[in-house]
Structure 1
Amino acid sequence: MDSCGRVCDRSEESGERSSHSCYREMYKKRNVLSQEERRRRTLESQKKRRNDIFDLNRSLDFNEETESMVENMETESAPCERGKRVGIRKILMHSEWMTETPEDLQDSWCFVPSPVGKRCVLIAQKGITKIFSKWGSFLRKFQSSLPSGFKGEYRYGPTILDCIWSESKSICYILDVIFWKGQSFNECEAEFRFFWLKNKFEEMPLMPETAQKEIQLQVLPSSPYSPSDLASEIGILSPWASQTSTLDGILFYHKNGHYHSGKTTPLVTWLKPFMLPEALGVEIPDVYLQEQPENYESMEKYIAENILKSKERRKKRISMEVDDEAALAGEEMKVDASDPEEIEPMARGNSPTECEGAVGGEGA
């Protein structure tokens, strides 16, 4: 494995090392700040923005930009243009692997179970509700009880939600709120967003009789973190621990973290279920341990290998997109694979484990 995915050989060192020591060594070699330090700096940056009058203007600009981008995505059958796809990618927030256990995990974090599915953006606007993949591809449209999401409801601005789409169950699981009636929630803390979203769905009116309710919307539960509560949430008696587990992983949100659209943030982290005993000492049912790859050795090695594979997949995807555009334009095109505007910093491919970070769902 090359330097991007290097892990430490435990057999070469005496004594026990912590489960995340390899990452600390990798960060030193790459001159990258530790995950804990980046969390601290991100929180400090949020506090400064609260007192910055220009932050209001930035939020309003994002609102107008997002609304304009959504209005342009009217063609459902044809492939999206590259600019529109990039626009969709910039809406979603992206997580990181939990390579370092937060020092304040039990005091300042909450967790959300993430089901198997595709990461997607749900947009309710102008009397219709549409689902787009994280890459900007159109997936479904339907009538929903969301503001501006059903026929005859045109009073409000767009409602945009961060979701996971289960094709087999026709369920759109809601992770987070980004816009509601045209109002941005980017500068709201995670604990408030989850509380507000839960209450809004409880208050939401039933669908009109004339509307066809084809797809179920379901808000995923969030809970303050404790080992016992997490073990109970995904335990043997929970719906997640069926004979064939529908749980893809666990997302951990810092309670004070804002929604950083288009960015990867250390204030949202991700673990696969079979990593929980190793990372946090949480007991899990055997059904999750059965999901470990046959060649699984340790959490740090598994993550490092997936980060490397993710980078290769992103480069391949970009190359394919460029080739398609060059063919349409009738000319050669070039792309700098190191340009952050050309590469999604973290995006779940068929699972969040395919990326440096993760926010729920197969194919996301």
Structure 2
Amino acid sequence: MSDSTTSPSATTSPKLDPFGRRESWLRPPQDGHDSQTKRRQRALDAQKQRRVHAIEAARSSFRELEFMEDLSLAGSPESSDTEHGEALPPSSTAGGDAASNPPPVIGKTKRQRFKPKFHAWAKNLLSHAETLDLRHGLPEGLESDWRAVVVPKGKRCLCATMPTNAGVNTILYSRVAGRTLGRFRTSLPPDCLLDTVWDAELGVLWVLDLCAWRSTWFVECEADMRAFFLASKLSELDTQAYFPPSSPFATQSQAGTIKTLLVLPVPSVAPPLLPSTLLPLLDPLAAAPNPAPQALPVAVLAPYATPEGHLALAPAEVPIPLAPTGVLLYLSSAHYESGSTPLVSWVPCGAEVAAEDKDREGVERMRTLVSEWAQRGGGPAAVAGLGEGQQSHGMVDGSGAA
């Protein structure tokens, strides 16, 4: 009786598998190359949609305004601090009180009162690149749509500047938690937010990217525009004084607590990225597991002691060693996005790549692919053919391994 009342459709009812788990188990494994490419394209489409919505919202707000109503040349003081959320703290309160007084001597019984401060506005404000998957070849459009940036050794941090207060105008925050790393003196103008790498051993602040400059936001600008603007502004800075931490003049010039950082742009290669430009960049990085530091000559004001024993500065050219840890690839048409994003790809050096991952990521793998690209002619068609060949070969290997 029970067999007659149970219909075949009841056993195959979609209610028994509402989420389609059985169907997902039977699907072939997802291709990692296609997955990263599709996520990159979805991120670009989302940026375009946000720009369209912002333009439409601005147009609708202007239509609702009456003629000559609420127009003023001066900004509203109530909205100036919250126009962009909590991304940039007010200049008058961004560590001004803490910078005006030297840090006190902390005893063991009072350390609980002097814990490092965490700032919610600085938490995860910087972008976090995805490791570039090179199992199936070079990324699509590498020759025209990407730019390469060398990442030196150091701590990735957010740099915020303010008006000079007691000799301090720059505060560094950790990338993830927004913890205050230190307060320094630099030649940067106030009200800037920069994506930087801090090398404490050299006393150098390497600038990777730009978020804001003099209260003007550039996060919705393309990567090429941000790189051009940042390079031009950093080149306009006055000649900087450089006091290496290991120098005997460092303690004399920094007044005990105020430290000076040398602000430098990182080496970068603008599109088009061809084998003729990529191989000179990748060869030194792939030469050994730990690439040798590259000396960059920089014009600075170097300290010296006068016959009377005073400290003086004189123009000089000092070689600054740059120890690279990898290469960042930026999509030229992408905006700046906070958090993890597929629009920025990370290619680490050999020391940071595991032995089992050398055939899928890293500078050595990329150099091999670029060399094959050069042998095919070095043009767009050559890189496209390389990607297809590597992709089909990778899928055969993957199915055989499975």
Taking structure 2 as the reference length, the TM-score comes to 0.53
Matched letter for residue 46 of structure 1: Q
* Alpha-carbon distance, 1:206 to partner: 4.2
Q: In the alignment, is residue 65 of structure 1 matched against residue 92 of structure 2?
A: no
Match of 1:160? 193
* Alpha-carbon distance, 1:302 to partner: 7.8
The list of structure 1 runs, each at least 4 consecutive aligned residues, that deviate by more than 3 angstroms after superposition, is 25-29, 53-57, 59-62, 68-82, 205-208, 234-241, 299-303
Taking structure 1 as the reference length, the TM-score comes to 0.58
With over 3 angstroms needed to count, the CA separation of the structure-2 counterparts of 1:145 and 1:238, relative to structure 1, is: farther
Match of 1:193? 226
Among 171, 175, 180, the alignment partner of 1:138 is 180
With over 3 angstroms needed to count, the CA separation of the structure-2 counterparts of 1:60 and 1:104, relative to structure 1, is: farther
Matched letter for residue 43 of structure 1: L
User: Which of structures 1 and 2 has the bigger CA Rg?
Assistant: 2
Q: In the alignment, is residue 255 of structure 1 matched against residue 310 of structure 2?
A: no
CA distance in 2 between partners of 1:253 and 1:193 (Å): 11
Among 343, 349, 369, the alignment partner of 1:267 is 343
Q: In the alignment, is residue 298 of structure 1 matched against residue 375 of structure 2?
A: no
Contact persistence 2:285–2:349 (CA under 8 A): no
Task: Provide Cα deviations, 1:61-98, integer angstroms capped at 9, x if missing partner.
Answer: 5634223488465658733455x2x4312321111111
Task: Provide Cα deviations, 1:269-293, integer angstroms capped at 9, x if missing partner.
Answer: 001133xxxxxxxxxxxxxxxx366
Q: Give the secondary structure class of the aligned counterpart of 1:147.
A: coil
Q: In the alignment, is residue 179 of structure 1 matched against residue 212 of structure 2?
A: yes
CA distance in 2 between partners of 1:35 and 1:219 (Å): 29
CA RMSD of aligned residues (A): 3.9
Matched letter for residue 129 of structure 1: T
CA distance in 2 between partners of 1:235 and 1:301 (Å): 18
CA distance in 2 between partners of 1:237 and 1:112 (Å): 13
Contact persistence 2:195–2:211 (CA under 8 A): yes
Contact persistence 1:69–1:87 (CA under 8 A): no
Q: In the alignment, is residue 121 of structure 1 matched against residue 161 of structure 2?
A: no
Match of 1:231? 279
Match of 1:35? 36
Contact persistence 1:235–1:241 (CA under 8 A): no
Among 96, 100, 122, the alignment partner of 2:130 is 96
* Alpha-carbon distance, 1:133 to partner: 1.9
With over 3 angstroms needed to count, the CA separation of the structure-2 counterparts of 1:242 and 1:81, relative to structure 1, is: closer
Unaligned 5+ runs, structure 2: 1-27, 62-79, 104-113, 242-252, 295-321, 363-402
Match of 1:242? 292
Among 254, 258, 261, the alignment partner of 1:215 is 261
CA distance in 2 between partners of 1:104 and 1:113 (Å): 20
Matched letter for residue 272 of structure 1: P
Task: Provide Cα deviations, 1:140-197, integer angstroms capped at 9, x if missing partner.
Answer: 322222112xxxxxxxxx1010000111111110000101011111100001100110
Identical counterparts, % of pairs = 29
CA distance in 2 between partners of 1:250 and 1:237 (Å): 9
* Alpha-carbon distance, 1:60 to partner: 9.0
Contact persistence 1:177–1:185 (CA under 8 A): yes
